[in-house]
Structure 1
Amino acid sequence: MADVFPDSRLRELTGATVLVTGGGGLVGSRIVAQLAAHGARPIVLDRFDAYPHPVRGLFEVDRHGTQVVLGDVRERATVKWLIDRADYVIHAAAYADVAACTRRPDTAFAANVHGTQTILDELLESRVKRLVFVSSASVYGDGVAGNDAPRFTEDQPLTPISVYANTKLWGEHQVRLMLGDSRTEYSIVRYFSVYGDPQIPKPGSHSWMVPWLTLSAHSGRPMRLNGGGHQVRDLVHVEDIARATVLALVADQAASQTINIGTGIPTSVRAIAELVAAHYPGAAFIETPMPDGDPRGGYADTRKATDLLGWHPAITLSEGIDRYVAWLRATPNSVPDWFTSQTVPLAA
């Protein structure tokens, strides 16, 4: 069940139909659950191929979604049919793995560029009140040279260093270009590092360090710190991310705005590993090289999230890791077979 916070602005969503692309994933499913809790009618469009079936069942999409459609955001007829029924759209569908996008830029282009363009084309002829486009803090790249923990502000120059970040930055520009003078409003939300159960890492990925590190310690394997773990991350619990995204649908001041969704607290990857290790006495660390496209990182300037959305994160990193460890211990079958049976590069 989603963490639900009362907010009078969300009464506007009662009875409204909200299309959530990518609604079958970690963040999308939490968005769908919160929409349903506030009386909206969420429709999910998802390929359902990002996670293995046993994990996907933990997202409870069928429980919270009014309708769940197996499909691709590039399928124009499907997208048109769903947008024609929608009052609002949250576009969260994406090929969202940095390492995978680096290996397969063609797939990243198809999902993140072609898919976004299909959504925008159909929005131009729709009655949709507002689109919330899900972007990423990866568009900032490494920030200012020489600053080990930069604070990223929404209006600073953007210097993406990965294929994934490039696709997200293109999406931002295209949303502004196509919807700026249309009858459909838009808001852009830039997620910082999302974590929280039931997040499970993917083979060959170096994203999502909380599950990577926790599964490693849980399985008695060393927690690998890429580059020594000196990168900085701003970790935001998935429930807080979902709440901010839903608020961006209805907050008047969020129209035509780009908003960081982060805690404003920089934490090194090593410090994250130490929080995890506190739950597993004897947990070991090992240092490994930095993977391609892995940014030094930074943290969010959160003033716009506060001023425009009235949003503050409610779940601290320590509490969020406690939750994840408790969930992992309660659901041991969620540890994927490939993790325990293969030699895999662990992330940080």
Structure 2
Amino acid sequence: MKKVVVTGGAGFIGSHLTAELAVQGYVVVVLDDFSTASDEKIASLRQKENVELAQGSITDLPRLQKLFEGIDYVFHQAAMARVPRSIEDPLTVNQVNITGTLNVLLAARDNSVKKVVFASSSSVYGDTSVLPQREDLIANPLSPYALTKLAGEYYCTIFTQLYGLSTVCLRYFNVYGPGQDPHSQYAMVIPAFIDRVARNLPPVIHGDGEQSRDFTFIQDVVHANILAAKSTAEGIYNIGSGRSITINQLAEKIIKLMQKDLKPIHEKGRLGDVKHALADITRARTFDYEPKWKLEDGLKMVASSYTHD
């Protein structure tokens, strides 16, 4: 039975990934500082037979060295996420996302881990007039968060070249699904919109709303991670749906889905936000990645998890 570590395994993506790995028969060690995990999520993870919870930080190299003993794969999801947060506190984001990723790679190398799957981000592309975005586009990060993800990719590449550690970097495009926190000041747009509409409040759009995004359902991202780990794939791969929608259109779609009569409110745009994002997923198809979820179906799934009157 293969044993794996999921860093950030109590977070949104990490907890969904942990649940699927457990179902598939892996022994999963969740490394998390639990700073953003709800009691409900932690309790849910504890109930799974082949899941072990390990409290700690990726900034603690000795902890990682011990934890990675006998591990086959490391799914490195832990990070200080969100662009706005990184703009407010670039030093901490640098320490967690860059030094933390270096620690993960060092511990993986020293314990002869078979592969590290690194959670990168479409934010590394920045603003580009070339759509869809392909992996060979020149990166143009517009925020400290995007820069840390690009640095993580470079570190992965270097560790593969210098030390023979197999690594694969997945550039996620706007991941959404059940279990995202809609109340954080850094909340992602879909849970934030759905939460407000469920409470008969208009969705708040930053900027003119004509910015477009490629939204990727969580289960597609989970399967991409597992496929990438089990395959011979190395290097950088986009993980998206291959379709985009403007934020204005998204708001309309959610209001209609939830059968409300609301008009969005527009506020000023946010620093570091890119104008357009759309994934070219041709390369990821080489390890059999294929997005299964349409946006409409994913939105219904998320909306059904809200119980507001």
Q: TM-score range by the shorter chain?
A: over 0.9
Indicate which of 162, 167, 179 corresponds to 1:186.
Answer: 167
Q: Which amino acid is the alignment partner of residue 77 of structure 1?
A: P
The answer to whether residue 12 in structure 2 is matched with residue 26 in structure 1 is yes
Write the distance in 1 (CA, Å) between the matches of 2:36 and 2:215.
Answer: 21
Unmatched 5+ residue regions in structure 1? Answer: 1-14, 334-348
Superposed, which structure 2 residues align to 1:7-22 within 5 Å?
A: 15-22=1-8
Write the distance in 2 (CA, Å) between the matches of 1:258 and 1:168.
Answer: 12
2:47 counterpart residue number:
63
2:269 counterpart residue number:
290
Q: Which amino acid is the alignment partner of residue 61 of structure 1?
A: L
Write the distance in 1 (CA, Å) between the matches of 2:183 and 2:82.
Answer: 9
Superposed, which structure 2 residues align to 1:117-196 within 5 Å?
A: 117-144=102-129, 150-196=131-177
Q: Is the 8 A contact 2:220 2:293 kept in 1?
A: yes
Write the distance in 1 (CA, Å) between the matches of 2:293 and 2:164.
Answer: 36
1:199 counterpart residue number:
180
Indicate which of 35, 43, 46 corresponds to 1:49.
Answer: 35
The answer to whether residue 229 in structure 2 is matched with residue 239 in structure 1 is no
Unmatched 5+ residue regions in structure 2? Answer: none
Deviations 1:42-89 (A, max 9, x none): 1100011124445x358x322345211111011122101111131111
Q: Is the 8 A contact 1:99 1:204 kept in 2?
A: no
Write the distance in 1 (CA, Å) between the matches of 2:99 and 2:302.
Answer: 34
Deviation at 1:198, TM superposition (A): 1.0
- SS at 2:4 equivalent: strand
Q: Is the 8 A contact 2:10 2:42 kept in 1?
A: no
Q: Is the 8 A contact 1:23 1:61 kept in 2?
A: no
Deviations 1:163-198 (A, max 9, x none): 100000011011111232324211111100000001
Write the distance in 1 (CA, Å) between the matches of 2:38 and 2:20.
Answer: 23
2:85 counterpart residue number:
100
Q: Which amino acid is the alignment partner of residue 144 of structure 2?
A: V
The answer to whether residue 236 in structure 2 is matched with residue 258 in structure 1 is yes
Deviation at 1:201, TM superposition (A): 3.0
TM-score, scaled relative to structure 1 = 0.85
Indicate which of 303, 319, 326 corresponds to 2:304.
Answer: 326
2:251 counterpart residue number:
273
- SS at 1:259 equivalent: strand
- SS at 2:181 equivalent: coil
Let me know the Cα RMSD of the aligned residues: 1.6
- SS at 1:187 equivalent: strand
Q: Is the 8 A contact 2:183 2:192 kept in 1?
A: no
Q: Is the 8 A contact 1:218 1:280 kept in 2?
A: no
Deviation at 1:284, TM superposition (A): 2.3
Deviation at 1:202, TM superposition (A): 4.7
- SS at 1:245 equivalent: helix
1:9 counterpart residue number:
none
Q: Is the 8 A contact 2:5 2:30 kept in 1?
A: yes
The answer to whether residue 201 in structure 2 is matched with residue 221 in structure 1 is yes
- SS at 1:131 equivalent: strand
Give the total of aligned pairs: 307
Q: Is the 8 A contact 1:45 1:72 kept in 2?
A: yes
Write the distance in 2 (CA, Å) between the matches of 1:325 and 1:272.
Answer: 13
Write the distance in 2 (CA, Å) between the matches of 1:202 and 1:220.
Answer: 15
Write the distance in 2 (CA, Å) between the matches of 1:248 and 1:310.
Answer: 9
Write the distance in 2 (CA, Å) between the matches of 1:22 and 1:83.
Answer: 14
Write the distance in 1 (CA, Å) between the matches of 2:80 and 2:260.
Answer: 36
Write the distance in 1 (CA, Å) between the matches of 2:209 and 2:142.
Answer: 19
Q: Which amino acid is the alignment partner of residue 216 of structure 1?
A: R
Change (3 A) 1:292 1:202: farther
Q: Which amino acid is the alignment partner of residue 294 of structure 1?
A: D
Write the distance in 1 (CA, Å) between the matches of 2:58 and 2:259.
Answer: 42
Change (3 A) 1:89 1:165: same
TM-score, scaled relative to structure 2 = 0.95
Write the distance in 2 (CA, Å) between the matches of 1:293 and 1:304.
Answer: 27
Write the distance in 1 (CA, Å) between the matches of 2:47 and 2:251.
Answer: 34
Deviation at 1:204, TM superposition (A): 2.5
